[in-house]
Chain A
């Protein structure tokens, strides 16, 4: 038996495979397809203080080896999560992590404070990288001072594990990672989607109602790998890698580049059983290469 267990700050994960925010609902939606307790963790849909309807349809465009989305953080607000969703999912035997969003620092704080009360949520993922909202979102994640400000404020009200989700739409992601580490982030996760655009040549119009949207899927994988490697070399806190992971080999590449854990996103749309296939595939890889513990692989890239 290989040891797939990892630790991020003080949260233990039975394996390094999580499902990414916005691509797995609240976990429940996948329960027909997979045994949720097999997952290392579930990062639930981005949550804001108030109910958000998100952006108008159309919100999706298929692109070569990927897709653009412009969902815009549609969610029923943190109160609904606390009262209606949390009771349904809290006993799933995995780590449930809430993706926290805000258009102002006060909103981030208000959401975090309410999530802090929930015993079975061991960590939050602070999303300072959503490209699909007009206010806040990515704006916080694209400069060091604003990223520092929001992380500093949230850190003050949150003692559990604080993961900060970084935007790839920056000149130096390593600089932003160092900045949030400096304010007490326990981990960074990356990448969120890359800002992109699709045009319908026949109609001579943008495909998305918002004109631009976030690119995800295999198309972004080389960029995501490069960024995970750069951030791993810049910070001491654990890195959670994602971006275009479709199978176990992709996941192992991220781990070799320095990721302690990975998240599976868009791949779930193609096949909701992929997260479990990735877990099994990592085990097989370790057996084949006689690696006893996954921690031996993290950052194990040979140069």
Chain B
């Protein structure tokens, strides 16, 4: 189990799009083949994708790594359509090349062997949670994954990851799993004290609520932030988060932060 991210150097590469698969209404799975090895890319890290052709899309768009096949040098992304850039990205056909800057940011801190972890993903924040579930190195019984969405149609199929942990779901309308938000789920509301670490990625209000409970219960909690970025590798200082040590760059000092470092 890799424990930290010295990893590979950052690089700009043209990756070959192998698959662009629609998973549901607005989530797509992109699988890209890299000309260079991907060793050292870890859960929590992200890539910055160039979206060509439309003039209004000037900057790259950051996406978390959903999965890496180190052997075959492929990288998977989960892209949720939010605006023009993400929409355009889901329309690119396999066989085309996409310029990607990677690997960016710091990974989650890996759990210790005896840990019992709760991974909570909302929206596109599911991506780094699935990768972490796969890579964290714990027995499946100690890995619990709670995924939240608006309705059943917004949940993606996670069959490939079920073997890495216990999965729980919430929907706001009750169409899959428990009705409500992730913090309403019994595994969170009633069993939180059984966990030694919490990891989360999703909308800020969700992560803030989780962070508050984790702090109260004195459980280590890491969150992955999605601040607006221009460069993604630490030169523009646009992506900052206000922390207890002042402004920190989410792209290089994050996107993963321990909640105790944030002013939440």
Contact = CB atoms under 8 A, between A and B. Distances in A.
Interface of A: 22-25, 29-30, 32-33, 45, 53-54, 56-60, 62-67, 69, 71, 74, 217-218, 266, 268-273
B12 interface: yes
Contacts of A270: 50, 58-60
Nearest to B252: A29
Contact of B242 (A57, A218, A268, A269): A57
Contacts of A24: 235
Contact of A29 (B228, B235, B239, B242): B235
Given A33-B12, A272-B12, A67 B230 contact: yes
Contacts of B252: 29
B237 A59 contact: yes
A66 B242 contact: no
Contacts of B59: 62, 67, 269-270
B55 interface: yes
A69 B247 contact: no
Contacts of B99: 271
Contact of B238 (A25, A29, A60, A64): A60
B222 interface: no
Contact of A271 (B12, B234, B247): B12
A58 B239 CA distance: 8
A203 to B, nearest CB: 14
B67 interface: no
Contact of B236 (A56, A62, A69, A218): A69
A63 B240 CA distance: 19
A55 to B, nearest CB: 9
A74 B12 CA distance: 27
Counting from the closest, the 4 A-B pairs by CB-CB distance are A60-B238, A32-B10, A269-B231, A32-B9
Given A32-B9, A33-B11, A273-B12, A59 B238 contact: yes
B46 interface: no
